[in-house]
Amino acid sequence: MSDALAREHRTVSRVTTILEAAGQSRDGVRLAGLAALLGAPKSSVHGLVKGLVATGYLEEQAGVYRLGPALDVLVRPARAEFTLSARRALESLQQTFDETAILCRLVGDAVVYVEMVESRRMIRYSAPLNQRRPLYPTSSGKCFLAHFSPRRRAAYLAEHVEEARRALVEDELERVREQGYAVNRGETVPDVSAAASPIVVQGRVVGALAVAGPSARMADELEQVAAAVRDEAAKVAPRL
C-alpha cells in the first residue's frame, strides 16, 4: 500500500458535497443552489446530479433533489421498518407456495433484492441480496418500469430493449399497470419463473414483492401465485 498522502479530487469532492447538501436539507436542493454551493456552471452540476439519480444516490421530483434509496439499500442495511413491514408478507407467501419470496427495491435504473425468505425445498431459487439487477425482464423490475413516467420508461427501453420489441414491451407494461402484477417465464434465468406486484404508497411505488421458483413447479400456477403476491403487496402498503 502506498504511503502517499491522499489528495482531494475535484469530481469526487463535488459529488460528496452534493450528497451532503441533499442529506442536510429537509426540503431537498435545487440545481441552482447546488451550482452556487459548488461555484460551478449549472451544466457541469447537472451532469453530476443526473448521474447520481441514474444510480439511485439521488431522487428528483419537480426539480428538487433528495437522497435516494441506494444509500439505504447498498451502503447500509435497509430501513428496519420497511423490511419488518414486508416480512410477514414474505413469510406468508413462502409458506403458501413453498417457493422463495423476495422484497425488492428500485435503485436508480436497477432492482435490488433487500430481503428474502427462501423455499425449504432442495431445488429452489436463491440469489444474493443487495446487488443490482436489470429492470427488464425481471418480474419485479417490470412492476417499477410499468409505473415510470412515459418519458423515463421510453428512455430506459430505448437503451435496453431492441427497437423491434419495444411496442410489445410497452403493451406488456400496460397490462402490468392494469392487473397489478407482472410475471417472468424463464426470461431472466432459464427454467426459473416468477411473479411480482408493486407496493404502492400514496400513488408511489416504494417496493415490490416477488415469488420465484423452478418453472417445472411454478408454470401451471403462476397466475395464482401472482394474485396472491398482489394481495400481500396491498396488505403491506398501509403499514408503510
Give the model's pLDDT for residue 224.
Answer: 97
Question: Which string of b and e fits 186-206 if b means at least 16 CB within 10 Å?
Answer: eebeeebbbbbbbbbeeeebb
Structural domains present in the chain: 10-68 (1.10.10.10), 78-239 (3.30.450.40)
Query: For residues 106, 108, 109 and 115, what is the CA-based torsion angle, rounded to 10 degrees?
Result: -30
**Residue 9 pLDDT grade (very low, low, confident, very high; cuts 50, 70, 90):** confident
| CA separation for the pair 68, 143 (Å, rounded) | 19
Average pLDDT, the chain: 91
**Contact (CB, 8 A) for 106 and 210:** no
| CA separation for the pair 140, 126 (Å, rounded) | 15
Give the model's pLDDT for residue 181.
Answer: 98
Average pLDDT over residues 89-95: 97
Q: Is the pLDDT of residue 75 over 70?
A: no
| CA separation for the pair 115, 129 (Å, rounded) | 7
173 vs 238, more confident = 173
* Cell 451550482 sits on residue: 35
- Give Cα separations from 31 to 25, 55, 83, 117 (angstroms): 13, 18, 33, 41
Q: Is the pLDDT of residue 78 over 70?
A: no
Give the model's pLDDT for residue 65.
Answer: 95
Give the model's pLDDT for residue 2.
Answer: 46
**Which among 112, 33, 21, 25 is positioned nearest to 69, based on CA atoms?**
112
| CA separation for the pair 144, 80 (Å, rounded) | 22
* Cell 431445488 sits on residue: 123
**Residue 80 pLDDT grade (very low, low, confident, very high; cuts 50, 70, 90):** low
Whole-prediction pTM value?
0.77
Give the model's pLDDT for residue 144.
Answer: 97
**Contact (CB, 8 A) for 156 and 146:** no
* Cell 399497470 sits on residue: 177
**Which among 64, 116, 75, 124 is positioned nearest to 99, based on CA atoms?**
124
Average pLDDT over residues 224-235: 97
